Structure 1
Amino acid sequence: MASIRDVAKRAGVTVTTVSRVLNNRGYISEETRKKVYKAMEELNYQPNELARALYRKRSYFIGLIIPDVSHPFFGEVAKYIEYYAYLRGYKILLCNSYLDEKKEKEYINMLKRHQVDGIIMGSHTLDVEDYKKVNLPIVALDRVLSEDIPYVTSDNYRGAVMATNLLIEKGCRFLAHISGPLQLNTPANDRYYGFMHVVSQRSVKHVVVETRLNKFDINEYKDIVSQLFKKYPEIDGVFASSDLIAAVVIRVAEDFGKKVPESLKVVGFDDVNIASIMKPSITTVRQYKDKMAQKAIDLIINKIEGNNVEVSNVIPIDLIEREST
């Protein structure tokens, strides 16, 4: 395996010059850079990234911990986070916590051992003090970890108000809201509060059910929706807290002889890819996942560089009407 000395010898420069090229330090002529890169290529030299990180006091790696990359929302956000991190010269180390406290702790420790410069947290199973002890810049994604850790979210409350009002304006008289687990402290809980505000203000009959904690389980969603339709067959409008749940609602509705949108209208949340390709396509509240990701990267890099940032960062939403209403 080639060493930095071998590269220096092949390029006809000093070891210090090769080090400066690798770490982009000091003035190096373009001709010298080309010589060093050519020697590295010929010798198949791979720099020791950990050593470079220690020298530069920065690794240019950012940890990303999310509940489940297979969930459409988190998968799409992770894609954009990687994209915007790359544009800024950073790489992403991706971790799936599955909302498991033990795994989340292990991943945080692993990321620290790998000298990441900061962590974007899309998972939230630990106590506030645990996050404060991480001793690295942290930005929360669609989570509130503590009053002084910056977070990025969408305008969940306004989105819920818009979705619920649309269902009522479309003639729905008995609404169901399928919420995420409200015991988890996330900005997404504002979808529940927005729904409750509208149905209370407009005196509309309603019911709310919650999904279980630590689960993004299609079979669980099917069971919840089936029980909902069995117990309340007169439901004619559903506001689901995600497009994935909305898709399940539409599928289960067929089994109960409910036609969408004729006898049942459905609104989701997120506007992930499946929302527009479903049949019927899903009316939904669009979260701008690209903007959320870009803001998260801006915040974490600013934190890494020691700059002050806003704690609350709320991205506007839009209601996208499609065939399900």
Structure 2
Amino acid sequence: MVIKLTDVAKKAGVSPTTVSRVINNYGSLSQKTIDKVNLAMKELNYQPNSLARSLQGKNTQLIGLIFPTVANPFFGELVERIEGKLFDLGYRVILCDSANNKEKERHYINMLAANKVDGIIAGAHNLGITEYEDIELPIVSFDRYLADNIPIIGSDNFQGGYLATETLFVKGARKIAILTGSQESNSPTNFRLNGYLSFLEKHELTPKMFQIQTTARSTTLKNLEIKHILETEEIDSLFCTDDLTAILVYNQCQQLKIKVPEQIKIIGYDGTKFVQNYFPQLSTIAQPMADYAEILVDLLLQRIQNPEKKLEKNYLLPVKLIQGQTT
């Protein structure tokens, strides 16, 4: 049985108009009346129609989140933090997993726009999606350029790459290699690569770069490539531009009887709760997850409340070293 607004009114002992006014926070009502209506809605499990509210020009209290995959601990933690903050502020989320698929992301953008969400937090890794330039919704971006009018919240990936390389150098490494993913000009991993190259150039060291462009679902192939690097390359340290890859490197070292950190030093990047809890021995560059969530939500709500408000184009947050036992 579908619960209607009139059912709520009957149970609360008020008129349907009063129920509508409570839902839309309109007009002057006593707290006693508001409480009666809210209790009736709760007992009947009545859900106000968000689409109907949007057609009336009202906020739906829905936020769209577009991220590559929550299977990755980094994005899983970030989405969890964002959702928690939005929930506490009275918003609910529609989570869209783009799976690094441009067409899938375009579909989700259009779906969110059609469903009249109040705003979007976009953190997908697909570049060159022009739909973001045309959509008339408040949007903030995590770590990626989407359009000139969309603010970007991220961390100093260049400094993070520099710090990771410096950490290996200070620990005595001189044959420092980097294991990276995407090298597209605006990707976070490319900025980390540039930080790595900058440090090596300053200290007149020769770079060694290895790129693995495999998906999260091809761990077997990734392990084979890592094994080949460890068996054939003359290196004394590896900077991995994400923690999951660093853990794979560590596991391969264990299988090959390569001592860490005596024979090879390893440093990762991200510093999620998952890694700190389940692999605390890994040295890593930690991103400010709590700050990301707070600023992404705050800026989006500013845009929702005042679409014309001028915001900075780029919000760059610092990273920090977590010293483990792999360096």
CA contact (8 A) 1:84 1:294 kept: yes
User: What secondary structure does 2:172 align onto?
Assistant: coil
1:40 matches 2:36: no
Describe how 1:284-299 pairs up with structure 2 within 5 A.
284-299=284-299
Give the partner amino acid of 1:265.
K
Q: What letter corresponds to residue 209 of structure 1 in structure 2?
A: F
Alignment of 1:3-152 (within 5 A): 3-127=4-128, 129-152=130-153
Deviation at 1:262?
Answer: 1.1
**Whole-Å separation in 1 of the counterparts to 2:18 and 2:147:** 45
TM-score, normalised relative to structure 1? 0.93
Q: Against the structure 1 CA distance between its residues 189 and 55, is the aligned structure 2 distance closer, same or farther, given a 3 Å change threshold?
A: same
Q: CA RMSD in A?
A: 2.0
Q: Comparing 264-273 with 216-225, which one deviates more in the overlay?
A: 216-225
> Structure 2 CA distance, aligned partners of 1:216 and 1:203?
38
Q: Match of 1:239?
A: 239
Instruction: In structure 2, give the amino acid aligned to 1:316.
Output: P
CA contact (8 A) 1:238 1:266 kept: yes
Q: Is the 8 A contact 2:5 2:19 kept in 1?
A: yes
Q: Which runs of 5+ in 1 are unaligned?
A: none
Query: Which segment is superposed worse, 50-59 or 211-220?
Result: 211-220
Report if the CA contact (8 A) 2:106-2:129 is conserved: no
- Residues 150 and 312 of structure 1 are in contact (CA less than 8 Å); yes or no, is this contact kept in structure 2? yes
CA 1:263–1:274: 2 relative to 1, 3 Å: farther
Task: Report the equivalent of 2:315.
Answer: 313
Question: Structure 2 vs 1, CA of residues 65 and 207 (structure 1 numbering), >3 Å: closer, same or farther?
Answer: same
Quickly say closer, same or farther: Cα 1:42–1:138, change in 2 above 3 A: closer
Q: CA deviation at 1:200?
A: 1.3
Cα drift, residue 136 of structure 1:
1.5
SS in 2 for 1:205: coil
TM-score (norm 2): 0.92
Structure 1 range deviating more: 116-125 or 286-295: 116-125
| CA distance in 2 between partners of 1:35 and 1:3 (Å) | 16
Q: Which amino acid aligns with 2:241?
A: S
Distance 1:44 1:278 in 2: 40
Q: Does the 8 Å contact 1:124/1:145 carry over to 2? A: no
Q: Is the 8 A contact 1:59 1:117 kept in 2?
A: yes
CA distance in 2, matches of 1:320, 1:193: 21
Runs of 4+ in structure 1 over 6 Å off: none
Matches of 1:43 and 1:128 in 2, distance apart? 43
CA distance, structure 2, for counterparts of residue 87 and residue 196 of structure 1: 43
Distance 1:178 1:139, change over 3 A: same
Kindly provide the amino acid, as one letter, of the partner of residue 286 in structure 2. Answer: R
Moved more, 263-272 or 83-92: 83-92
1:94-143 alpha-carbon deviations (Å, 9 max, x no partner): 11111111111111122122211111111142525321022222211121
Deviation digits for residues 296-323 of structure 1, max 9, x if unmatched? Answer: 1111111122222111011111111111
CA distance in 2, matches of 1:42, 1:254: 57
Equivalenced residue count is: 324
Amino acid aligned to 1:17? T
Q: Percent of aligned pairs with the same residue? A: 37
